Chain A
């Protein structure tokens, strides 16, 4: 059964095939310097791109540009906002219609380039864009949206088509979850953060500074997890004692399921008995789960698990 087309789809499909914006001509012709930069950047050592003598003897009979640097030739370069706006396409466009209909988020899905001939130094490219196709409304994991195929045509100084590019993107209506991720600007979730209060702030501050601090009463009792009162002498006074970081595995688990972002699985979690005599939960890193044994010696380290976030971790003690 064919789905009846919506007014939005009708509008969009009337615009398919028509040019989007004015054609743009490259700022510079294809040139050796840019080719060399590209080859350096992608570590492409093929001499046919950079060695004139070698290239002359090759099937090409001279220097050619790497086909995959197609887009580089017509890039607009750094522009002021005014310039950019002046060059932006005018009039109705499929992407604008989708924005207005609430499909405000975008994700690139795939890109295909077709090359009709090698480009050579001196070729001056002109690029033009159109919308080739718009899909029906689709349900995706990201949200409901339309797939849009943009067709980009590259022509040389003689008007000959030398390459095409089909760039497919999904314009979708953001779900609450994807919208949240966008707002935070970080699609990856962070590890749960601890609740910091008057009783435990010293510990987390210590970790951030790369120190493993254990609460110690003036009667000598070490306490972890910490609390306000010493159960031995009822004192409310205490100090933060720095542990040496050495300990042994008292118990451990290997988490497999359910996968909870951002943790990577299997996730090795240990209960460490510190040399000072208290136990603490952490991760054991740089070791395979099957290598872990109760009683093995470990030592503390402090890893930046996320930007500006230091976490206590343990590793196998060497020697």
Chain B
């Protein structure tokens, strides 16, 4: 299966196995949680601490999404935590997911903090749907606001629409089809069907279902788009040594990395020479492999960020699981389903389990490493996790101790 993927060794960092994920927690995933985002946050955070066998007073750092509406200091007060020595926020939407763990691991590895909690809590479905598009946004003369001005006046207003523009070009250059995108949905929903925590538990779909689903923004159909969800997820990061003494077997952070390409845009990477890749994810992949001392052949399962199916194909290519433009063939051969070469999103992904900005995928990777996943992959040594695509992003390789 090797695809002559070259790992660039000078991208290695000092982070390998310095820190571990010692606890995971989550609320239920729903379309209407019926409670505040802050409450979801404290429920998930305390569940993760309980899972690790730690007390709120043990927490001395937080690393969260810029987009999260729940300030860490407020969460910390609510749970009765102690003094904090580290608190960071990571920008760029879902691209922050694995980066929260990267920054937590850096804080732990350098002694800046001992125990750092990362969380994402949102009533994204019941309160503020991202899929509704950028409407009624008050124009401000800032760079972030001006960015939308190149798209919004024409009706290119939703995350789906921004991804669709790149996806069309990818189809054109490599001959991928709507069915190829659909195979990602089918795999995710197959995995969700046997995961009681998934919104789409016991609701698998066929490729025909995908092809019959209505256009959202051609070439993307409804079933190419992830759910919109309410829920919260948290993880606890601490040093490798400390994690070994805690309640759960540690999920070692073999590597963690962020990436933004030199031509990076926020969801609208339409201007580079080629727009059929995700160079920022390629950069993340290189750093992860180099830091972990691994190659694609060493990865048994992966959590591939799946807000929209086309970017799953491109990520498989950027990570060297197949050659550029050949993800469609890799997927057609059943490689991404349970029992295949590289089962992805064994919890059902964001298409099948829930859309919690990628954080629920980190929980699943930890469960695969621990051997407690509902859809376990055999002999897991290393799991790749990726974060939001089309934006500055991040990734992890987690492994057994």
Contact = CB atoms under 8 A, between A and B. Distances in A.
Interface stretch (A16-24, A62-70, A257-265): A257-265
B146 A197 contact: yes
Given A256-B214, A269-B161, A279 B146 contact: no
B145 interface: yes
Given A194-B152, A195-B149, A256-B214, 13 more contacts: A193-B139, A194-B148, A195-B139, A195-B142, A251-B169, A252-B165, A253-B219, A256-B218, A258-B131, A260-B135, A260-B155, A281-B268, A294-B168
B142 A251 contact: no
Contacts of B145: 195
A195 B135 contact: no
B147 A225 contact: yes
Contacts of A283: 154-155
Contacts of A253: 156, 161, 164-165, 168, 217-220
Nearest to A196: B141
A194 B141 contact: no
Contacts, number: 129
A281 B214 CA distance: 24
B158 interface: yes
Q: Which 8 A-B pairs have the closest CB atoms?
A: A194-B149, A197-B141, A192-B152, A254-B218, A195-B139, A195-B145, A251-B169, A263-B155
Q: Is the interface of B mostly helix, strand, loop or mixed?
A: mixed
Given A251-B166, A278-B271, A294-B172, A191 B132 contact: no
B54 interface: no
Interface residues of A, number: 37
A251 B275 contact: yes
B201 interface: no
B155 A258 contact: no
A200 B146 contact: yes
Interface of A: 191-200, 204, 224-225, 250-258, 260, 263, 266-267, 269, 271, 278-283, 289, 294, 311
Measured as residues with beta carbon below 8 angstroms from the partner, the interface class of chain B is 35 or more
B141 A294 contact: no
A281 B154 contact: yes
Given A196-B141, A224-B271, A257-B214, A281 B150 contact: yes
A251 B141 contact: no
B216 interface: yes
A195 B165 contact: no
Contact of B218 (A193, A198, A289): A289
Contacts of A269: 154-156, 161, 165
B235 to A, nearest CB: 33
Nearest to B144: A195
Nearest to A197: B141
B174 interface: no
Nearest to A282: B154
A199 to B, nearest CB: 7
Nearest to B218: A254
Interface in B266-321: 268, 270-271, 275
Contacts of B216: 256-257
